[in-house]
Amino acid sequence: MRRTETAEDSARERVGKALLAYGRELETEGAAQVGGSFTGDPAADALIESDANAFLLGVLFTQGIPAERAWSGPHLLRQRLGHLDLTRLAEEPSSVQAALQRPPMLHRFKNTVPRWVSSAARRLVDEYGGDAANIWAPGSHVLDVTERLSAFDGIGRKKAVMAVEILVRHFGARLEGRECGQVAYDVQVRRVFLRSGLVDRDAPQDIERAAASIYPEAPGTLDLAAWLIGRETCRPKVPLCDECRLGSVCPRRTWFSVEGVGAGRR
């Protein structure tokens, strides 16, 4: 017997359609991250846009600090070191550490991020011919690229999922299997999915299933849309529901909160 659709189901469907519309809009625009760019600094943006290795290093920085500051990391590191030569980054870890830790520090994780940078440089040289673009070569499968990125120290699955969506949406990477893509289990995304009624539990599998049910062809299309809503309007303490892209359809379950640091994941 077919289950009767409830009012809750209907509300969830409306929210899903609104979130998908926003995601498609961002995808059509080829949105980078915030305000149409990664950092707001033309020089820092140009490096991320033109250098696959800088993009990968930027992914390492996207944790625990604001997005714009994180994506500026490779540019600022190059300014301090005078280069982003992978062999030197791998073989001169003390120089990388000193450059990151020089006031003002480039990252709050002053000991961890330098290790990640040197480790990533070594892996790029040893496994990918010194070119991060080989990780997401045309025709690669979304799941394979996610696994390759996840293998880097300091990336892991959450950042890898985010990076894959940026590669497809903004850089036009020609990857197979977009139906296997997902939204990142990020604090902003989690809060939006909970408050909007798309899920009732703060669990990765629930959010993945919800995203896949909204847009089976490419669930990751919802990733940036949900993250931007969480960052800009569905705020932890004072949500701006009347200004939100989902405001007219969202049940506004603002009592939901989530744990974790996610403001700088992008």
pLDDT in tens, 255-264: 998 875 433 4
Tell me the C-alpha distance between 115 and 119, whole Å.
6
Rounded CA separation 53/121 (Å) = 9
Q: Would you give the distance in Å from CA 215 to the centre of its chain? A: 18
* Mean pLDDT in residue range 184-194: 96
Q: Is the pLDDT of residue 35 over 50?
A: yes
Confidence (pLDDT) at 7: 81
Asked if the model's pLDDT at residue 254 lies above 60, the reply is yes
pLDDT of residue 3: 53
Domain ranges for the chain:
8-31+180-243, 42-136
Average pLDDT over residues 18-22: 98
Mean pLDDT score, 14-28? 96
| % of the chain residues with pLDDT over 70 | 95
Residue 5 has what pLDDT?
67
- What is the pLDDT at residue 36? 73
Q: Is the pLDDT of residue 2 over 80?
A: no
> Under CATH, what is the fold of the domain 8-31+180-243?
Endonuclease Iii, domain 2 (1.10.1670)
Does residue 4 surpass a pLDDT of 90? Answer: no
Which whole-number Å values give the CA distances from 107 to 62, 165, 198, 207, 263, in the listed order? 10, 24, 34, 30, 14
pLDDT at 143 over 90: yes
Average pLDDT, the chain: 93
Mean pLDDT of 142-149: 98
Q: Are 188 and 231 in contact (CB under 8 A)?
A: yes
Helix (H, G, I), strand (E, B) or coil at 37: strand
DSSP for 152-181, please give it: STTTHHHHHHHHHHHHHHTT----B-GGG-
Q: Give the pLDDT score at 34.
A: 73
Report, as an integer, the average pLDDT of 203-229. 96
pLDDT in tens, 81-139: 999 999 999 999 999 999 999 999 999 999 999 999 999 999 999 999 999 999 999 99
For 39-79, what is each residue's pLDDT tens digit? 999 999 999 999 999 999 999 999 999 999 999 999 999 99
259 and 21 Cβ atoms separated by less than 8 Å: no
pTM across the whole model? 0.90
